[in-house]
C-alpha cells in the first residue's frame, strides 16, 4: 500500500512530496518505506530533483516490494540527486547517488553492509532542429562488506535524429557506440559469454526512444 502527499509548496519554484509504503509478505514479513522528494523548477531552463529514501523489511526503496523474504533487520537508505538543463542548443542531465543496505547473511545471520555510489550524466547539442549529438559518461561502484569494490565506467557517443532540438524531445533514433571498463571484482557485467574473463568492451547499435 502506498500513500502519497505531493505538490506541497516549500519555496519559490520548489515543491515537496512524501510517499509512504507498507508491505506484507507471506514469505518474510512486513515492511515500511518512506521517500521524500524536493523538486526545484526554473534552473538554467530545467530543474533539480532531490530524493531521500528509507526502506525496512520487505519494502523496497522504489515504493514497492523489495526482497519478499527480508525481515525487519534488512534496512536500506539512499540519496539521489538529478539535475537537467536546456540553454539554447545545449541541454543535458546529471545525477548522483549514494546508498547503503544492511541485511543478515543467509548462512551466519551476521548483519552485513553494502554501499553503492553512482555519478554520471548525458549532454546534448543540437546541430539542427532534427539532428543532435549525445554523449554520456557514468561511473558506478558497489562495495560489499569484506569484499573488493566492484567498479564500472562507461562512455557512450550517439549521433541522433529527433523531432526537436531539446534534450527531452522524443521520439529519438540514436546510432550509438559504447565503451565500458570494469574490474575483475565486478565479473562479466555484460552478461554475454564473449566478454567472459575480460574487463573492457565496446558495443554499438541503434536505439529508438519514444513516449506518450
* Angle, CA 46 vertex, CA 19 and CA 152 arms, to 5°: 75
- pLDDT tens, position by position, 96-123: 999 999 999 888 889 999 999 999 999 9
**Peptide linkage before 110 cis (omega within 30 of 0):** no
**Per-residue pLDDT tens over the stretch 135-168:** 999 999 999 999 999 999 999 999 999 999 999 9
Cα–Cα nearest to 110, from 60, 150, 144: 144
Tell me the three-class secondary structure of 39-74, residue by residue.
EEEEECCEEEEEEEEEEEECECCCCCECCCCCCCCC
Q: Where exactly are the structural domains of the chain?
A: 88-209
pTM over 0.95: no
What pLDDT, on the 0 to 100 scale, is given for residue 37? Answer: 98
Amino acid at each position: 500500500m502506498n500513500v502519497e502527499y505531493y505538490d506541497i509548496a516549500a519555496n519559490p519554484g520548489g515543491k515537496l512530496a512524501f510517499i509512504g509504503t507498507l508491505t506484507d509478505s507471506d514469505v518474510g514479513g512486513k515492511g515500511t518505506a518512506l521517500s521524500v522528494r524536493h523538486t526545484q523548477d526554473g534552473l538554467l531552463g530545467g530543474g533539480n530533483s532531490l530524493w531521500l529514501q528509507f526502506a525496512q523489511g520487505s519494502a523496497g526503496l522504489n515504493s514497492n516490494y523489495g526482497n519478499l523474504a527480508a525481515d525487519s533487520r534488512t534496512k536500506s537508505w539512499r540519496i539521489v540527486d538529478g539535475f537537467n538543463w536546456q540553454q539554447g542548443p545545449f541541454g543535458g542531465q546529471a545525477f548522483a547517488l549514494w546508498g547503503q543496505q544492511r541485511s543478515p547473511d543467509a548462512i551466519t545471520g551476521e548483519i552485513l553492509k553494502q554501499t553503492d555510489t553512482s555519478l554520471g550524466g548525458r549532454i546534448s547539442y543540437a546541430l539542427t532542429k532534427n539532428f543532435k549529438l549525445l554523449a554520456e559518461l557514468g561511473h558506478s561502484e558497489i562495495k560489499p562488506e569484506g569484499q573488493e569494490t566492484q567498479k564500472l565506467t562507461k562512455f557512450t557517443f550517439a549521433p541522433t535524429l529527433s523531432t526537436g532540438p531539446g534534450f527531452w524531445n522524443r521520439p529519438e533514433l540514436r546510432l550509438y557506440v559504447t565503451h565500458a571498463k570494469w574490474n575483475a571484482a565486478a565479473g562479466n557485467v555484460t552478461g554475454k559469454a564473449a566478454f567472459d574473463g575480460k574487463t573492457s568492451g565496446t558495443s554499438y547499435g541503434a536505439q529508438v526512444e519514444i513516449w506518450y
